[in-house]
Amino acid sequence: MRRVFALLLVCMATTLNAAPDYPPLSRVVSPIGGEPAPLLENIKQPPLGLPAMDIPERNPVTAEKISLGRKLFFDRRLSFNGTLSCGMCHVPEQGFTQRELRTPVGLEGRFVKRNAPALYNVGYRRALFHDGRESSLENQVWQPLLLHNEMANPSIGFVLDTIAGAEDYRGLFEAAFEQGLTVETVGMALASYQRGLVSADSPFDRWYFGKEEDAMPAQARRGWQVFQDAGCIRCHTIADDHAHFTNDQFYDTGVGYARSMGIDSTPEPVRLAPGVSVVPKVSFETAAANDLGRYEATGSSEDRWLYRVPTLRNVALTAPYMHDGSFPDLQSVVAWYNRGGEPHPGLDPSIRPLNLSGKQVSDLLAFLESLTASNVAMLEADGRSAGIGDP
Ligand code: HEC
Ligand code: HEC
């Protein structure tokens, strides 16, 4: 008996010493990696369809600032416990938003009530956040850095100390800014990187502004007509020589009202058994009901449930949609507009039943899909050229 046991031990020992001849259960995760792109040129010579960008005089954009800003943006050490970077809620491969969740999750699983906006072309926005409560990219950064349910740093000084204590930042702020590392230059660097996320030259741009006949398929060209006739263009505006597909204004399209009243804008049937589905009548999500939109930035009652018009550039890449991410795809957004939103006092008069036919709906969708820029992969790879801030 004792000999058998000893033999077993020997066998086990040999097995343990030998190199495993089976595939490991977990995959080795290698860094995604990527090449930095010429973001400075991207800003100075925007791709077809976008105008010159207004850059604040106090923060002229330079290559040093962009590369420092990129490093900060993807650095997990900038959150209280070193696990969450800007780039984890604004994910390059997911349209610089988060496609897996309606609303992203902050530090230690904390609830964030709004959808993370895609950051493409954010350097052109005059009003930041869904309620427009901030106007400067330089200042904006301190909200995610300090908010308890985002990166949760206890103070500005804490963030500055984190950066000052990291070996790999030595000399970088001094090279980019005369004043070195300060509360202001953190914002200036992050703003400079984000200004570089200029993205256009879509099939629509090449057809409409570039006069390339075949750049956009016929279906999308018909969709462009629907887009104008249905009045979308009133808020998702375009100019003579460029297009932002937003006028940076605020409207009540009924989404905020519907959510506050607990009306699920996209009730999805739940499958109980093969062939048995029900549309649930009860919603267990209550936290989102506290969103009053623009009112939260102005305090005036007429601003209740108004939200900023989002750009439609790259919209096919940035699901889910609306301030609360309550629409899973473009089909459901178009269906919402087609039935006239959610009628209530305060609904913008241009949101009314459109009576679009099935063909017009597919044409409109084809048009929205033709707004995807040509440099998306470049911006992704550029983001991944930065590390992720290993401790
Ligand atoms: C926990 C997820 C999360 C993290 C981390 C995060 N963001 Fe955001 N970001 C959001 C959400 C959600 C909003 C919209 C908030 C609102 O409208 O009230 C937003 C909005 C923004 C906006 C405004 C965009 C627009 O179109 O108005 C910018 C710019 C931005 N974030 C940059 C950053 C930067 C820079 C960092 C890192 C310092 C960062 N974010 C970290 C989730 C996040
Ligand atoms: C009265 C102004 C107005 C009109 C007209 C309008 N929109 Fe919008 N659109 C908005 C606002 C405001 C939002 C954001 C609402 C929110 O976040 O709750 C929005 C959101 C969207 C979104 C979601 C984008 C995202 O990133 O979340 C799409 C897509 C869209 N609109 C397409 C259209 C189409 C197509 C039409 C025409 C059928 C149209 N819009 C008409 C103001 C308008």
Distance CA 353, CA 299 (A): 31
What pLDDT does residue 266 have? Answer: 57
Alpha-carbon Rg for the chain, nearest whole angstrom, is: 25
What pLDDT does residue 8 have? Answer: 45
What pLDDT does residue 272 have? Answer: 76
What pLDDT does residue 346 have? Answer: 94
* Ligand 1 center from residue 144 Cα (angstroms): 6
- Length of the chain (residues): 391
Distance CA 74, CA 88 (A): 8
* Ligand 1 center from residue 117 Cα (angstroms): 7
Neighbours of 28 (CB within 10 A): 5
Ligand 2 binding pocket includes 321 (Cβ within 6 Å): yes
Distance CA 177, CA 59 (A): 10
Residue 7, amino acid:
L
Distance CA 117, CA 318 (A): 8
Distance CA 147, CA 106 (A): 9
Distance CA 176, CA 72 (A): 13
What pLDDT does residue 3 have? Answer: 53
Distance CA 162, CA 146 (A): 13
* Ligand 2 center from residue 311 Cα (angstroms): 9
Q: Which residues 6+ apart lie within 8 Å of 353 measured at CB?
A: 338, 339, 340
CA 130 to ligand 1: nearest atom = 17
Q: What is the pLDDT along the chain (391 residues), one digit of tens a residue?
A: 455 444 444 444 444 455 556 666 666 667 788 999 999 999 999 999 999 999 999 999 999 999 999 999 999 999 999 999 999 999 999 999 999 999 999 999 999 999 999 999 999 999 999 999 999 999 999 999 999 999 999 999 999 999 999 999 999 999 999 999 999 999 999 999 999 999 999 999 999 999 999 999 999 999 999 999 999 999 999 999 999 999 999 999 999 999 888 886 555 666 677 777 776 555 445 454 589 999 999 999 999 999 999 999 999 999 999 999 999 999 999 999 999 999 999 999 999 999 999 999 999 999 999 999 999 999 999 999 998 988 7
Q: Which residues 6+ apart lie within 8 Å of 54 measured at CB?
A: none
C-alpha dihedral over 227, 232, 236, 242, to 10 degrees? Answer: 30
Cis peptide before 92, with omega less than 30 degrees from 0?
Answer: no
Ligand 2 binding pocket includes 310 (Cβ within 6 Å): yes
